[in-house]
Amino acid sequence: MLLKIHSPKHNRQIFGFPRVKLRILPLIPVVGIAAWLGYKQVQSYRVKPEAIFVLGGHEERERFAAQLAKDHPTLPIWVSSGSPKGYAKRIFAKAGVERDRLHLDYQAKDTVTNFTTLVNEFKAQGIDSVYLVTSKNHLPRARVIGEIIFGSQGIVIKPMAVECDRPPEPWEKILRDGARSLLWVATGKTGETLIDPKSL
């Protein structure tokens, strides 16, 4: 079949493909991710989290997690690269959370490594489901990463969005870190050295 290129006046096809289809192509990964996350959200309703996992970066996440910990007094709390130790401990102590429930980890350098640095620790402790606490604008990216990295190890996440006034993150970041997460599953490498640190 010959590929047709029409003049600009009648440019309804490009290389044999309708222009409308070409406009839709970039949306396919986005729609696929949204459908997959919807399925995982339904799955998360069926599980009872065994730990609270907080992504560091903003103090309001830790304050939210401290209140969540009060409602779930038997769950351990893990904070990945959050506030300085002394300050973080005070936030949870003020909420009445016992110190032996709190685990502060500072290995992660970005959202992907928030997950890769602790996934083996959770598996070693037999943790198969967690509350995932992060800011509302950051949650879509964190969910994609978490579902790939934690999901590859059988750990189910139950997202908990913390209200904030920051704008939603761009889809480019979500797709980029989704690709980095798949790279980790395949090779054990996160690809963090390949990107501009300012964009993490």
Q: Is residue 100 a part of any domain in this protein?
A: yes
Q: Is residue 15 a part of any domain in this protein?
A: no
Whether this prediction's pTM lies above 0.85 is answered by no
Q: What pLDDT score does 47 carry?
A: 80
> How many Cα atoms sit within 13 Å of 137 on the Cβ side?
10
Identity of the amino acid at 144? V
Q: Is residue 138 a part of any domain in this protein?
A: yes
Q: Is residue 7 a part of any domain in this protein?
A: no
Q: Is residue 40 a part of any domain in this protein?
A: no
Q: Is residue 57 a part of any domain in this protein?
A: yes
Q: Which domain holds residue 146?
A: 47-185
Q: Is residue 97 a part of any domain in this protein?
A: yes
CATH code where residue 63 lies: 3.40.50.1980
**Which two three-digit tokens encode residue 97?**
């959370």
- pLDDT tens digits for 110-168? 999 999 999 999 999 999 999 999 999 999 999 999 999 999 999 999 999 999 999 99
CB atoms within 10 A of CB 19: 12
Number of domains in the chain: 1
Q: Is residue 32 a part of any domain in this protein?
A: no
- pLDDT tens digits for 8-44? 554 555 555 555 555 666 656 656 655 555 555 555 5
Per-residue pLDDT for 81 more than 80? yes
Nearest to 147 by CA among 168, 132, 136, 126: 132
Proportion of the chain above pLDDT 70, given as a percent? 74
CA 72 → CA 8, 52, 75, distances in Å? 63, 9, 6
